[in-house]
């Protein structure tokens, strides 16, 4: 009976969404805020889901090729700048 309850509980309990890492389109520019100052970042990947949405803008966590946050750790860009899935 305990096992059946545990299985039933695990099926109805929401699971945390996994983050996915995407590359960006060539020429993607990141900003401090939508229409804000340009943020200079080196090679970058973005982690989804976005931390925040504002119209067509998304605040993405920026990571390096190993999934480690870079400086700055997050920046704004157009949501449409996602290019290709790297992994999750």
pTM: 0.74
Quickly count: other Cβ atoms within 10 Å of residue 77's Cβ: 24
In whole angstroms, give the CA distance from residue 54 to residue 64. 24
**pLDDT grade, residue 17 (50/70/90)?**
low
Q: What was the pLDDT predicted at 67?
A: 82
Tell me which of 38 and 4 has the higher pLDDT.
Answer: 38
Do 63 and 71 contact (CB within 8 A), yes or no?
A: no
Mean pLDDT of 19-47: 90
In whole angstroms, give the CA distance from residue 69 to residue 52. 17
Specify the DSSP element, H or E, that contains 63.
Answer: strand 57-63
């Amino acid at each position: 009976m305990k096992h059946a309850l545990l299985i039933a509980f695990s099926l109805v309990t929401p699971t945390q969404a996994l983050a996915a890492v995407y590359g960006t389109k060539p020429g993607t520019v990141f900003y401090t805020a939508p229409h804000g100052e340009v943020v200079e970042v080196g090679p970058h990947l973005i982690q989804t889901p976005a931390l925040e949405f504002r119209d067509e803008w998304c605040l993405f966590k920026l990571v390096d090729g190993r999934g480690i946050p870079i400086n700055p750790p997050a920046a704004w860009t157009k949501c449409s700048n996602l290019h290709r899935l790297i992994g999750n």
